[in-house]
Amino acid sequence: MICFHDQIIASFPITAQNHRGEIDYRKILERLGEILRPQLEEDIPRTFPEYTPHNWSNHIIALFDIAAQLFGSETLLSLDDADRFLLVVGLYCHDWGMAVGNDEQEKIVAEFTALPKNPQLPLASAELNRLMHFAKQKGVERDVHGDFPALASSNQPHWQEYIRQTHAWRSGDRAHDFLAALDLDSALCEAARDICVGHWLDYEILRDAKRFRPIRMVATQRVHVKLIALVVRLTDLFDIGRDRTPYALRRFVGPADPTSVREWDKHAALDHIDCMDIGRSRWQVVIRGTCRQPSLWPALTDLRDYLRDQLEHGVDLLVE
């Protein structure tokens, strides 16, 4: 059986016309995958060694089949080329900002340390602005040498939390910059950024057209940014089954932190999602599983309630 990832890639014409000439969507996505794969598989575990997988094979490629289950493969394949392209970019890139290597971390922290104590925010980069806001929020301070030891190592909780909280914006910046370097339409680049950011934003922001632009025009083609952001968001949320966290991988990772252990246990208790047609153009997402640990049950019920709430809000926005 061909996975939906391969189907959607094959659906692109070898070249498609835009106002600047021909664009080879397949070649662009192939190059993006080549860049992403090693970063996701090497740099995310460096900062988050006990996280459930956010890598290429266990997470990214699996998302395409989940999207096909949730929204229907025919529906997704019927999207216009630009929307379909942005869907693939969003699923590929939404976690890219979690991958921060040693050199990048050292550069960010060094630039942050070099800033004066009361810098003018407009003079700093977007990354440094985010880090300044986080440091102020969390009370991260300099030591007697003027350094920030709480941010100096990838295993520091403050650094891990900073990367996690801000990964969507970093993902969006990287997706934008990758496409912009190919001289693609600036609106397409901005749409890719918005989709990566949008998968993490509160629904209140996504609902506000002034804070999150729902549509962009790429030449004469309308691209549905909010729609694609919602598809990426809901697809990512429902990658929760045990196939994401196989036992062999768990033995290799060996999570010890109680929070990490609980997350791995939650995945291990659940089957892959099942989407059932219940008639009248309505469907139901079913998640089956087996819980053998009484202490895990409250976490599973919290997850169920959270997913139900997210799905209801997401469907409301999709209807709009």
DSSP structure class, residue 52 = P
User: What is the C-alpha to C-alpha distance for residues 66 and 240, in angstroms, rounded to an integer?
Assistant: 10
Q: Look up residue 252 and give its two tokens.
A: 């290799």
- Residue 18: what pLDDT? 52
Give the pLDDT of residue 264.
Answer: 79
Task: State the pLDDT at residue 254.
Answer: 62
Q: Of 168, 114, 112, give the one whose Cα is nearest residue 140.
A: 112
pLDDT of the residue at 58: 86
- Which stretch of DSSP H or E encloses residue 278? strand 274-279
Q: How far apart are CA 179 and CA 28, in angstroms?
A: 8
**The residue type at 196:** C
Helix (H, G, I), strand (E, B) or coil at 143: coil
**Would you state the pLDDT for residue 121?**
53
Q: What is the pLDDT of residue 162?
A: 94
Contact yes or no for 257/291 (Cβ under 8 A): no
Determine what percent of the chain is predicted with pLDDT higher than 70.
91
pLDDT of residue 152: 85
Strands (E), 53-123: none
Contacts of 172 (CB under 8 A, 6+ apart): 93, 97, 192, 193, 194, 195, 196, 197
For the chain, list residues with pLDDT below 50: 19, 247, 249
CA nearest neighbour of 212 among 88, 320, 96, 126: 320
